[in-house]
Amino acid sequence: MRIVQQLRRVFRPAGKTLQAMARWKRLSFDEAPPVFGNSKPKSGSHLLLQILNGFTQIMPYRYVGADPIRTIEKEGRRKQKEEVLNELRRVPRGAIGWGYVEASPENVAFLCKPGRVNYFIYRDPRDMLVSQVFFATDMHEEHGMHAYYKSLPDFGARLKVAITGIDQDGLHMVSVKQRYEGVFQWLEQRHILCIRFEDLIDHREDTLHAMLDEVEKTGYKIPTPRGKALAVLLEAIQPKKSHTFRSGKTGGWKDHFTAEHKRLFKDVAGDLLVKLAYEKSNDW
């Protein structure tokens, strides 16, 4: 199975490029601006990925990268800054890249400059935590927290650990407040459109228009008429086709946060939700 996957990774770019050449009747793909879609884990990355795949239907892009570029590998190893930067540099012209990349000075300098298009999607921390616990417990046995979560008596106990983080017995996971330090680093950058997951769910058309506007801010004119382009992107969004799909809704945290979880979250995260404008005060 691993050999088959490796072969697919080798031949997929060539096959996708041939398809794009036939679709767009061209040999080069240097016209449209470079695009990179970025996210924090469990914050809507696969929803963003579906939209980026839709981009290849409305603009002359070859394909969307099959694998994400990560600052931290699935096994938990943190890559050297130069490793990540080299992976970003290796995204071919005309291909759309995506991943889970931190806002290091090197990454920011490479990505956040005129002529490039960057999207960063983030999510209500409470929904992100619920999603992470379900994913690590029930959907991804290779997740670093899987065994520990399974050893706990119930979902409520797991959610507490997700809020506070853990650093014991070889396990290390930062608190929810520390997780979102990286979000604020991206929110502060220029030349990047930061998108709430909730807006892609509840205000989808407006958000997609903003994403298309971001492309045209570079001076490039999208060849597909806006109405048709919007219809293509709306059709491309199929959350249930994502292998990580669970509920795809907003505000689901209310079904899982007890009064104790709320108190713990506020103790650990402080005014995080207010700073992110998910709440007007800490009285929620």
Q: What is the pLDDT of residue 112?
A: 96
Q: Which amino acid is at 276?
A: L
More confident residue, 243 or 172: 172
Percent of the chain with pLDDT over 90: 79
Give me the chain's average pLDDT, please: 92
Residue 168 neighbours by CB under 8 Å, 6+ apart: none
Q: Which amino acid is at 99?
A: G
User: Mean pLDDT over residues 222-234, rounded?
Assistant: 98
Kindly report the pTM of this predicted structure.
0.90
Pairing, β 171-173 against β 117-122 = unpaired
Q: Residue 244: is its pLDDT beyond 60?
A: no
CATH topology of domain 31-123+180-241: Rossmann fold (3.40.50)
pLDDT band at 242 (very low <50, low <70, confident <90, very high): low
- Tokens 């806006």 belong to residue: 226
Q: What is the pLDDT of residue 247?
A: 55
Q: What is the pLDDT of residue 7?
A: 61
Q: What is the pLDDT of residue 133?
A: 95
pLDDT band at 6 (very low <50, low <70, confident <90, very high): low
Nearest to 60 by CA among 92, 90, 95, 97: 95
More confident residue, 205 or 138: 205
Q: Residue 4: is its pLDDT beyond 70?
A: no
Q: Are 137 and 232 in contact (CB under 8 A)?
A: no
pLDDT band at 169 (very low <50, low <70, confident <90, very high): confident
Residue 147 neighbours by CB under 8 Å, 6+ apart: none
User: Mean pLDDT over residues 125-133, rounded?
Assistant: 95
Lowest mean pLDDT across 5-9, 84-88, 109-113, 245-249: 245-249
Domain boundaries along the sequence of the chain: 31-123+180-241, 126-176+246-275
Distance CA 137, CA 148 (A): 9
User: Mean pLDDT over residues 238-258, rounded?
Assistant: 76
User: Mean pLDDT over residues 1-28, rounded?
Assistant: 83
pLDDT band at 18 (very low <50, low <70, confident <90, very high): very high
pLDDT in tens, 193-203: 999 999 999 99
More confident residue, 159 or 1: 159
User: Mean pLDDT over residues 235-246, rounded?
Assistant: 70
Range picked from 100-109, 138-147, 165-174, 247-256 for highest mean pLDDT: 100-109
SS3 127: helix
Q: What is the pLDDT of residue 219?
A: 97
